Structure 1
């Protein structure tokens, strides 16, 4: 049985890896396992958008520097109806050092964190999952190879079908959502503007978007229809590298902690991809828990995270309803209201900050870290 000072992380996606990075940089010993064979395949972009709060969180470890080197910086979005441009949203108005969405395929984000951990002697144990948890207050985790690990804490970052959540009996509540989303990753033969997203409100269908993740690559995503319908008629597509159709739900765990067992990311909450909050919200969970564990305040985790999770679920549901209803009042008003709002600096700033999720509570330790960095300088 392993020593019980270790913190066991189940799941090595972006959330589990961020937990390992944040705990390691704070001097806490970790072990990270994953039942899969390796990180997300390079051809599947999956979670693309990295928001300013995530960049601020990962800055202290140095991971952000690598992310910024490799990612595309989306500084705004052009909104059209049936291909005719209506207005633009400019993210530079937001009050943040990084007023953009960093677009980077999930597999690259994962590999950057895996490399950071490996340089510090922490290796992901692939092909090894969690089977059961004995005692939530002094956790003993039974692994799929028969090993029992006595841990200071167990963090479930193992996705929507979390074995950690099931093992400790935390209920899953919420509801599914009607309709399907489709996405298609494509490669263009000529360069595209990697700094601009494009949103098209399609009459009778709903909204679709093109999110670049390089000068020759982008993702089409939309509600309803097939992946092929998203890029039908678009010129200059050299190859389609990945497509997917999926349904979404709005659910969360009834609790995010039970004793010294904690849930983060999709193990604790799921919602639609509209707004790009999913991976980021999970990384904020992981970083908050790492901070609290380092401070001996982990009992505060649920009270700090559940209100934020509920706020995001509510806002994301509203945004999803808007883009899914092409004849809805909200979409009909956009062409008139948004150009007017963009001319008022304070309103334009608030719009940019909401797009970047800067309207959500920011981690309490970021200001303190910034102060220490200024003092050190």
Structure 2
């Protein structure tokens, strides 16, 4: 692809930043803008899980090495129900060089990507947003500064309320999900196990997860009406750093491309945080676009990504239902079937690979 052509990226969250890295390392000129004044605040972990496929994608740029130098490694999880330990799942049998979930706050992930871009001559233009899109086959964008930009392609990574998606008239499809979700980032006065998540389920339905990102810090997330409920009965908390209450939905854009305008990440799909797929799925979108564009095959982007997006939405919906509204049969079989799956080698590996999303189609260039 000629190096004098420029890709305009709208949105400098992890997805837009990863797109810029993957394009820039291939010698493709990028311009990246974001409506915010800067990256995610340091005290908000937001997306926490970095999966093996994401690390494999970011290995070529050297970003993966930087992420792993700062992040923790979750090697498995313990499952509890009503105060009784049911079983444990290990991820170490998965067929990947990185058989773990890298636990790293989104704020740090973003800054590592921003630093890499700065070293390669790319600076994020903060406080600048795309306000409108002109003709999509020879795309132009109007920026909040009043500037009109011509680009060879535009990649909308500007979140669930994407102005890029709205401007090119692509509607959402899908539905909301009943119930409340809450999260809290906390610090502990005494060390916790940094390598294992703790999943607590209730016989009546609902539950919570503790995801460590260090020996003294963790994310609590669960199906509760308020963050305060997550903290009840949990000893050793020295500080509550950040809390949030939210609802979830399972939706995607009807299309992920129109002409030479493309969508990635939350601009194209949203789903439950159960399973930790959200940020990762967006980065896979971004990397796929960069690879195809460099190959002159960007017209294949939508057909390659939509089946993967649909598979992730289906899987996360099933996982969310299992946690929030478990059917009677699942309640009965879970304490019996899962410990067995964890002990049998021919079941242990597929289980670990499903947790790590390695059962999804992997990038063709890796």
TM-score (norm 1): 0.95
State the SS of the aligned residue for 2:61: coil
Instruction: Map 1:172-211 onto structure 2 (within 5 A).
Output: 172-211=172-211
Q: Moved runs in structure 1, 4+ residues, more than 3 A?
A: none
Aligned to 2:161: 161
Q: 1:13 to 1:331 in 2, by over 3 A?
A: farther
- Aligned match of 1:334: 334
Corresponding residue number in structure 2 for 1:61: 61
Q: How far did residue 332 of structure 1 move?
A: 3.1
Name 1:324's counterpart in structure 2.
Answer: 324
- SS for the counterpart of 1:115 is helix
Contact 2:205-2:323 within 8 A present in 1 as well: no
Which residue is 1:133 aligned to? Answer: 133
| Cα distance in 2 between the residues matched to 1:155 and 1:340 | 45
The aligned residue for residue 225 of structure 2 is: 225
Query: CA 1:313 to 1:326, structure 2 compared with 1: closer, same or farther past 3 Å?
Result: closer
CA distance in 2, matches of 1:199, 1:332: 17
1:205 Cα deviation from its structure 2 partner: 4.6
* Equivalent residue, structure 1, for 2:105: 105
Task: Say whether the 8 Å CA contact 1:154–1:262 is kept in structure 2.
Answer: yes
Q: Secondary structure at the match of 1:93?
A: coil
- The C-alpha deviation readout for 1:214-247, integer Å capped at 9, x for no partner, is 1100011101232111121111110000111100
CA distance in 2, matches of 1:237, 1:344: 37
Counting only pairs closer than 5 Å after superposition, residues 1-377 of structure 1 correspond to structure 2 as 5-325=5-325, 328-366=328-366
Aligned-pair distance for 1:63? Answer: 0.3
Structure 2: tracts of 5 or more residues without a match: none
1:124-159, Cα deviation, whole Å (9 max, x unpaired): 000000011111000011101110111000000000
Are the structure 2 counterparts of residues 142 and 4 from structure 1 closer, same or farther at C-alpha, using a change threshold of 3 Å? farther
- Asked if 2 retains the 8 angstrom alpha-carbon contact of 1:15 and 1:264, the reply is yes
- How many Å separate the matches in 1 of 2:19 and 2:305? 15
1:145-191 CA distances to partner (integer Å, 9 max, x unpaired)?
11011100000000000000001001111100000111111000111
Give the match's secondary structure for 2:128.
coil
SS in 1 for 2:359: coil
CA contact (8 A) 2:203 2:331 kept: no
What do residues 253-309 of structure 1 show as CA deviations (whole Å, max 9, x unaligned)? 000000000000000000000000000000000000000000000000011000000
Shift of 1:203: 3.4
**SS class of match (2:145):** coil
Secondary structure of residue in 2 paired with 1:30: strand
Deviation string, structure 1 residues 305-352 (Cα, Å, up to 9, x no partner): 000000110111111011002564323321111111222101110000
CA separation of 1:38 and 1:313: change in aligned 2, threshold 3 A: same
Post-superposition CA distance 1:194-225 (Å, at most 9, x none): 10000011233512110001110001110123
Q: CA RMSD in A?
A: 1.1
